A and B are shown apart, each in its own frame.
Chain A
């Protein structure tokens, strides 16, 4: 029999339900895997083995009592440390929130616990979800379980959900929550050979999720495969009256309606995504994807998304603008870090607390955001960016009159080495070039593993769908998954 930790959500849940193994055995196995990997991978900020066992015991008891079991019953997961968890430290990977223990539970995590999931721990991430490599965490880098063959250089697990991607790829968690503001689920999923879906903006409640950029932040699922993502997303999603931007729509039965048959579907290939100097392996994997779509019966249609080139600058105005305001609450007055130098007044306390509490990337984005919102620059930057955002949205609306889904690469390259891009913020930002447009338009988008590149590292393909059409995204992704037959796993070196 394969090890329990090799199993994903569906296999674990069904195995527990059938009595092949108990939820407690599952939790124990993953707790041990987490403990063994933690020193090498640093995927977690805190581990919560007792929480995992507690949830498992309840599932085992419910099963014994013949009670109905939830969608995620007995599945222990990693929780990105951006979700507030009642009684468990929640930091957003920032020193400014170190030691902060919320007296409340985020809606998404609550729904997962109610569906029977347990918590292995709080996953590391880029500080306040700002980063593409997990190098901005105040709690140390996450090390990708992947390595280039014969090369021990530590690689980035992607970001900001780098703890999530590393944990799932290393099989120390069968699934993990992620959040995606400009690609923070999709890019790390692509870097680590797993699946990750960002649903339509508003599908998952933002209540209790530490905010980065409110108009873009969206929670999603990261797991072994498309089916597991569908199961987990069903458990996470749903209208929440506590979030004004939450979608007041029923959650569809995505899992039950999974269907990889693409006959009669049109897949759009936007010519603007074919960049000059595109990585040859990325270009090839995209062509593979197109071939698989055809094989699944889809018609391939070349489309145009003319404002694509403005997406990145637009994103890097809007997201920092919102962040600069969202992060104003970390002021040392009510919770978290407080630096109070001798004789300090209020302004001194603010300055000292924020200087000590925020990392350099967070400070950079607060500075950019403050600048683009300030008098005299507001119209030139923020107002202009909002207009362009609308144009980008219209590009998609127009395209979706012709096609059902859009297929593009997830990221411009496979995983890079830690430290390779961290010196140059612009180069780091360019990593989001393929993921940001769907975020600006609030569309559902998913990354699925497509193969390995010349370095033996995973590449992902991204499916972008119409608003509210997670089903279309999941189905196209499933068609790719079935044809890519991606089974590569990182060799265990930790």
Chain B
């Protein structure tokens, strides 16, 4: 499919990308302690004796964290390992109180799975399957604060021990767009499952980007790993910059060094953090404080049963059962909140119209995508903070459906709803925006317009049928947009007939 190539001085290069995504598990408590996990709390207020690694403290796995990781694994069709184990990754740093991170190197909780990405919303052929090697569960570290004191660094342990999933992809991506689409799709799935809130700006989700380049068809080149990239856009930028840099290094006669790099968004460049030579020896070994994690069938079944309809299935259902276009289905299922909003709107609209959801789906989806999204965009708001609820939207759509107002009046009403928070019917009533089906009034308006435009009437009769739209527009204008457009059409046809 995608043929992304870097044009080097010596020919074409292909980029190979793998992502390791760290996703914070949405739970109230940390992976091995009961301490809270809320974002933005005062430093060191969410730290238990375990998180601070006091002498004699022991980790106890939090069942909910394991459950969420298993549900995530099931959502990417992965093999769930009923027997897994925690290992210690040993290194010294001030944000790591135990002197080791509890992770899963040898026996991860979740094995191989995959997700499907689509590069072009409007082209169902542009899909690609990206392999996922594993998901393991591990502890987050604390945070150093270097700006609190002139000569000392402070440590905030609120994040210390927070549960993370590390989701490791196969090196299956071949372009910045694929890497971006993969991360976005992964985020979508996590939010559907509810295992991670996907707030990349709060650090709930971040990616280590592995990039290498090669001549098309050659074996993999040496890779670099750019750490802690925290947006889809930055991931794409890292791939682009890093691939270009590596091509330049190789074409200049150098070799790519396997190393850890950092991305600087201000300069849009990556730079070396540490090379493999001074890499840590983490001395991984099974954590003797923890027994192996053994999952029974009942637990797995409960995890499976609790999974919601996932984005791909939902999208498919929107297209087949609701008859939506591939584009609409894609937009509406891209985020779990959007889908939730749409489904509430759909249910309410169908109920008001006493029709099936399939019968009103098109109207509702078009309105949501082209009208509400546009209006919210102008206001700089998102669906989650929309002053208009799905029920209020359905009320507006019902007014259009039963002919109370026209589509163009509906736009005005929506604007007023967003401004005031009032209901559609109340606004229509207050502002006198009701559509008129008063045949007499419309006929009078038509008569006036035909009389004032006798030349155009002649031209129309002579075969210039495109002028019909002109007469409709003039009539609607004369009726201040409130005339029933169907009636206008009918009456005009008769008079011009």
The residues of A with any CB-CB pair to B shorter than 8 Å are 83-84, 90, 92, 97, 100, 102-104, 106, 206-211, 213-215, 241-245, 321-322, 324-325, 327-329, 331, 333-335, 346-347, 350, 370, 373-375, 378, 382
Select the residue from A241, A325, A350 with max chain B CB neighbours within 10 A. Answer: A325
Please determine whether B285 and A92 come into contact, CB atoms closer than 8 angstroms. Answer: no
Question: What CA separation (Å) do A201 and B320 show in the bound complex?
Answer: 60
Q: A244-B59, A245-B291, A327-B99 are in contact. List 13 more A-B contacts (CB 8 A).
A: A84-B56, A92-B55, A103-B49, A206-B58, A207-B58, A210-B55, A325-B285, A328-B92, A328-B98, A333-B94, A334-B54, A335-B55, A382-B285
Specify which of A214, A215, A242, A321 is in contact with B60 (CB 8 Å cutoff): A242
Cα of A207 to Cα of B99 in the assembled complex, Å: 19
Query: Which residues of B line the A interface, CB within 8 A?
Result: 49, 52-61, 88, 90, 92-94, 97-100, 153, 155, 281, 283-285, 288-291
User: Ordered nearest first, which 4 A-B pairs have the shortest CB separation?
Assistant: A328-B99, A214-B288, A373-B283, A215-B288
Q: How far is the CB of A91 from chain B (nearest CB, A)?
A: 9
Inter-chain contact A328/B58, CB cutoff 8 Å? no
Contact present for A104 and B94 (CB under 8 Å) = no
Contact assessment for A325 and B99 in the assembled complex, using a CB-CB cutoff below 8 Å = yes
Q: With contacts A333-B155, A346-B94, A373-B90 known, is A325 near B56, CB below 8 A?
A: no
Whether the Cβ atoms of A209 and B60 lie closer than 8 Å is: no
Give chain A residues whose Cβ lies under 8 Å from the Cβ of B94: 331, 333, 346
In the complex, the answer to whether B53 meets A244 with C-beta atoms within 8 Å is no
- Docked-complex contact A331 and B55, CB < 8 angstroms: no
The reply to whether A90 and B92 form a contact with Cβ atoms under 8 Å apart is no
B137 to chain A, nearest CB (A): 15
Secondary structure at the B interface, as helix, strand, loop or mixed, is loop
B205 to chain A, nearest CB (A): 28
Residue of A nearest to B279 (CB): A375
Cα A239 to Cα B99 with chains together (Å): 28
Q: Is the CB of A102 within 8 A of B54?
A: yes
Known contacts A328-B99, A333-B94, A243 near B88 by CB under 8 Å: no
CA A398 to CA B285, docked complex, whole Å: 28
Across the interface, do A329 and B99 meet the contact criterion of CB distance under 8 Å?
A: yes
Q: What A residues does B97 contact at CB under 8 A?
A: 329, 333-334
13 A-B pairs (CB sep. < 8 Å): A102-B54, A104-B54, A207-B57, A213-B288, A243-B60, A244-B61, A245-B288, A327-B99, A331-B99, A334-B97, A335-B55, A346-B93, A350-B92
Closest to A92 in B: B55
B58 to chain A, nearest CB (A): 5
B58 touches A210 (CB 8 A): no
B283 neighbours in A (Cβ, 8 Å): 324-325, 370, 373-375, 378
The complex places the Cα of A104 from the Cα of B88 at a distance, in Å, of 25
> Is there contact, CB below 8 Å, between B60 and A373?
no
Q: How far is the CB of B376 from chain A (nearest CB, A)?
A: 48
**Contact between chains at B288 and A329 (CB < 8 Å):** no
- Chain B residues with Cβ below 8 Å from A374 are 281, 283
If A329-B97, A333-B155 touch, whether A207 touches B289 (CB-CB below 8 Å) is no
Q: How far is the CA of A118 from the CA of B302 in the complex (A)?
A: 48
Residues of chain B lying within 8 A (CB to CB) of residue A215? 288
Which residues from A are CB-within-8-Å of B88? 325
Is the beta-carbon distance between A325 and B100 smaller than 8 angstroms? yes
B55 contacts A97, C-beta separation under 8 Å: yes
From B61, which residue of chain A is reached at the shortest CB distance? A244
Residue numbers in B under 8 Å from A102 (CB-CB): 54-56
Q: Which residues of B contact A243 (CB under 8 A)?
A: 58, 60
Q: Are A207 and B291 closer than 8 Å at their CB atoms?
A: no
Q: A215-B288, A374-B283 are in contact. Are A207 and B92 (CB under 8 A)?
A: no
Chain A residues near B60 (CB, 8 Å)?
A: 241-244
Among residues of B, the one whose C-beta sits closest to the C-beta of A354 is B92
- Rounded to whole angstroms, the CA-CA distance of A102 and B94 in the bound complex is 21
* Cα of A375 to Cα of B284 in the assembled complex, Å: 9
CB distance from B52 to the nearest CB of A (A): 6
Nearest CB in chain B: distance from A170 CB, A: 28
Out of B56, B92, B93, which one reaches A211, CB within 8 Å? B56
Q: A97–B56 Cα gap in the complex (Å)? A: 12
CA distance A325 to B54 in the complex (A): 14
| B49-A104 in contact (CB<8A) | yes
- Measured CA separation A210–B57 after assembly (Å): 8
Residues of B within 8 A of A242 (CB): 58, 60
Check B56 against A208 for contact (C-beta < 8 Å).
yes
**A100 contacts B55, C-beta separation under 8 Å:** yes
A279 to B100, CA, bound (A): 44
What residues on A are CB-neighbors of B99 within 8 Å? 325, 327-329, 331
Asked if A373 meets B289 with Cβ closer than 8 Å, knowing A206-B56, A331-B92, the reply is: no
A335 to chain B, nearest CB (A): 7
Complex partner residue of A373 from B54, B61, B98, B285, CB under 8 angstroms: B285
Q: How far is B45's CA from A23's CA once the two chains are assembled, in angstroms?
A: 42
Q: How far is the CA of A350 from the CA of B56 in the complex (A)?
A: 20
**B158: shortest Cβ distance to chain A, in Å?**
14
Tell me, rounded to whole Å, the shortest Cβ–Cβ distance linking B214 to chain A.
28
CB neighbours of B291 from chain A (8 A)? 244-245
Residues of chain A with a CB closer than 8 A to B285's CB: 321, 325, 373, 378, 382
> Which A-chain residue is minimally distant from B99 (CB atoms)?
A328
Whole-angstrom distance from the CB of A339 to the nearest CB of chain B?
15
Contacts of A207 in B (CB 8 A): 56-58
Closest-by-CB residue of A relative to B283 is: A373
- Which residue of chain B lies nearest to A321 when distances are taken between CB atoms in the complex? B285
Residue numbers in A under 8 Å from B52 (CB-CB): 334
Cβ A335 vs Cβ B56 within 8 A: no
A325-B90 in contact (CB<8A):
yes
Q: In this complex, what residue of A is CB-closest to B53?
A: A329
Checking B56, B155, B288 against A210 with a beta-carbon cut-off of 8 angstroms, the contacting residue is B56
> Chain B nearest CB: distance from A14 CB in Å?
33
Minimum CB–CB distance for A248 against chain B, Å: 11
Contact of A328 among B59, B100, B155 (CB under 8 A): B100
